[in-house]
Amino acid sequence: MNLIKITDINAPEMDVFARATERELRTSDAYPEGMFLAESANVILRAIEAGYEPLSILVEEGRLEPEAGPVLEAIDKYFGKEKLDSIPVYIAERDIVINLTGHTLVRGLWMALGRKPSVSVEDFCKDKKRIAVLMDVVNPVNVGAIFRSAAALGMDGVLLTHPSVDPLTRRTARVSMGTVFQIPWAQASSDDPEGTGLIRLLNSFGYKTVAMALTSDSTSVDNDEIRANDRLAVILGTEGTGLPKDVIAASDYRVMIPMYHGVDSLNVAAASAISFWELMKQ
């Protein structure tokens, strides 16, 4: 094992963990498709099991065995001993790495991993019957929660518009409990700012599109006619304004979740879980 002691967070080796932005990691030329950072053993394990290549590790002193141990075993299992021996494993005391995250529940383990090649919308849609489409959902917590619900409730994948949060950001991956590595996803191109082009494209692939929106012709989400469709794409809008009017009008169905006490909407992550549950019923 290539153990390296770190005594200064300003050491150049720590740039990827302490100073590089998500964008800088994503566009880094240090790996063919760019890099990303994952934190906590459970999230990192799911990334490794999904085939994301580990590049370097930072572990808090005293957590090498309990936290990093299973991760190192997984690297050996999925990538081989030669890979395990070549990866730098940086070890630092807690007071060195304590400011790397503001989330107190995260254990002291971080890993830099290489990204996989992006997937086109057409290739993504080929073998999927039930997909979630995130239309400009920009909150990383919401995107992580939607991924977790999509994976748990049987959706086949998640398609994101270009402005939506990158699923491999640290916070999104953490909130998703690593399910961003377990369920397929793809990102649409940036040349369709209104979103209606994506609706037409999904229709051309045989999907019926289901807009989550409160309109005069919205039907309840527990709709047998909608469930009976072979291929469904559930369209979820951004946190503040919801779906654009043109997207709502272009969709095949408009559905709502019946609510009480004068409440007219739910957080997009909560709404996604209910809609996935209802639309996956047979």
The residues spanned by each domain of the chain are 2-114, 121-279
**CATH entry 3.30.1330.30 includes domain 2-114:** yes
Residue 270 — φ and ψ, nearest 5°?
A: -65, -40
SS3 breakdown of the chain: % helix, strand, coil, rounded to 5? 40, 20, 40
* pLDDT of the residue at 255: 93
Matching CATH number, 121-279, of 3.40.1440.10, 3.40.1280.10, 3.40.50.720, 3.40.50.1980: 3.40.1280.10
Q: How far apart are CA 212 and CA 215, in angstroms?
A: 9
Q: pLDDT of the chain along its 282 residues, tens only?
A: 799 999 998 899 999 998 999 999 999 998 999 999 999 999 999 999 999 999 999 999 888 888 899 999 999 999 999 999 999 999 998 888 876 655 444 668 999 999 999 999 999 999 999 999 999 999 999 999 999 999 999 999 999 998 899 999 999 999 999 999 999 999 997 777 667 899 999 999 999 999 998 888 889 989 999 999 999 999 999 877 889 999 999 999 999 888 888 887 788 999 999 999 998 876
Q: Collapsing DSSP states into helix, strand and coil, what is residue 202?
A: helix
Of 37, 46, 14, 168, the C-alpha closest to 110 is 37
| Residue 35 CB partners (closer than 8 Å, separation 6+) | 16, 25, 26, 28, 55, 112, 113, 114, 115
User: pTM for the whole thing?
Assistant: 0.92
Give 99's DSSP letter.
G
Kindly give the interhelix angle for 268-279 and 140-152, rounded to the nearest 10 degrees.
20
